[in-house]
Amino acid sequence: MVSVQTTIGEFHFDNCLMNAAGVYCMTREELAAIEQSEAGSFVTKTGTFKERKGNPEPRYADTALGSINSMGLPNHGYRYYLDYVTELQEQPGSKPHFLSLVGLSPDETHKILKDVQASDYRGLVELNLSCPNVPGKPQIAYDFETTEQILKEVFTYYKKPLGIKLPPYFDIVHFDQAAHIFNQFPLTFVNCINSIGNGLIIEDEHVLIKPKNGFGGIGGDYVKPTALANVHAFYQRLKPSIQIIGTGGVKSGRDAFEHILCGASMVQLGTVLHQEGPEVFGRITAELKAIMTAKGYKNVADFRGKLRYFNN
């Protein structure tokens, strides 16, 4: 029997596949559907200090090759998600969860994280440093100085397991600089990648979404090579205690296999989950297991990070 179980920090997951933040995670009902699916866990929609309506619609569109979105961080406020994961963790058989969070300023981020630190929540937190869609708010993780400052302050008071959601980087120097910063902190994981920010998709003569004259975060097939490169670049550079979650362009067992080969300990489904719904976890799990069986791998640790180069 092949197994797709995995661990992140001290947490055990029966399946290395889960949703990506932003997809199937806005409401308790959606989160419950992921909890009841074959997914190993769920991550919540990124919660902010106050609830937000987000950008005007249409703000998400599927295309033949993926998706574009400029949701603008709509969410019910972090307490809604904190209350739900705290409630669920007491239920027998509950999966461990990820609570995605960010403030609209460093101050707000600290207020939120201090509240989570003081709460009964024992699970993982994913600090979203890479939302591309709030007008006037640049992606935090493209500003290395601010990123380092926020992490420095966070780890003075935050003692529970915490990881960060990263935007894609596109230059080797940026991989080096970012990894140098992350390696200074007791991060449990980094999640590569958020959508590729500020793309533009056109149909006939028209943009597909309303906010920002059509500019939005790109997901799906378009982003897989960038996602794999980011997963592997950080796998090569980060200290072993910082694990990698791979997100971007996964729509088959083969794609999940490639993320794990690049070093991912867990793999998230975004666009494909939006397109197919929670049953997709069963399909992709079966496809991944079939590949593992054919290659003689018994568990994901057997091939994690074992990408082969020409010079080996």
Q: Which residues are catalytic?
A: 131
For ligand RRO, which stretch binds (CB under 6 A), given 68-76, 146-154, 235-243, 252-260? 68-76
**For residue 89, which of 124, 129, 63 has the smallest C-alpha distance?**
124
Angle at 72 between CA 70 and CA 212, to 5 degrees: 50
Please provide the DSSP assignment of 7-53 as one string: EETTEEES-SEEEPTTSS-SSHHHHHHHHTSS-SB-BPPPB-SS-B-
Q: Measured from the CB of residue 100, what is the shortest distance to ligand RRO in angstroms?
A: 8
195: contact with ligand RRO by CB under 6 A: yes
Q: Measured from the CB of residue 59, what is the shortest distance to ligand RRO in angstroms?
A: 7
20: contact with ligand RRO by CB under 6 A: no
- Binding residues for ligand RRO restricted to 239-298, rule: CB under 6 A: none
Taking the C-alpha atoms of residue 274 and residue 69, their distance in angstroms, rounded to an integer, is: 12
Q: How many residues does the chain have?
A: 312
48: contact with ligand RRO by CB under 6 A: no
Taking the C-alpha atoms of residue 73 and residue 203, their distance in angstroms, rounded to an integer, is: 25
- Binding residues for ligand RRO restricted to 203-242, rule: CB under 6 A: 217
Instruction: Determine whether the annotation assigns residue 54 to a binding site.
Output: no
Instruction: Determine whether the annotation assigns residue 73 to a binding site.
Output: yes
168: contact with ligand RRO by CB under 6 A: no
Radius of gyration (Cα) for the chain, nearest Å? 18
Sign of CA dihedral 200, 202, 208, 212: positive
Residue among 40 and 217 whose Cβ is closer to ligand RRO: 217
Among 4, 17, 43, 131, binds ligand RRO (CB under 6 A): 131
User: Cβ(127)–Cβ(62) under 8 Å?
Assistant: no
Among 4, 18, 33, 71, binds ligand RRO (CB under 6 A): 71
Q: Measured from the CB of residue 246, what is the shortest distance to ligand RRO in angstroms?
A: 16
**For residue 189, which of 172, 166, 168 has the smallest C-alpha distance?**
166
Amino acid symbol at 8: I
Instruction: Determine whether the annotation assigns residue 194 to a binding site.
Output: yes
Residue among 132 and 249 whose Cβ is closer to ligand RRO: 132
Instruction: Determine whether the annotation assigns residue 45 to a binding site.
Output: yes
| Distant-in-sequence, close-in-space partners of 250: CB < 8 Å, separation ≥ 6 | 224, 256, 259, 267, 268, 269, 270, 272, 284
130: contact with ligand RRO by CB under 6 A: yes
User: Which residue positions form the known binding site for FMN?
Assistant: 45-46, 128, 165, 193, 220, 248-249, 270-271
Q: Which residues form the interface with ligand RRO (CB under 6 A)?
A: 22, 46, 69-73, 128, 130-133, 194-195, 217
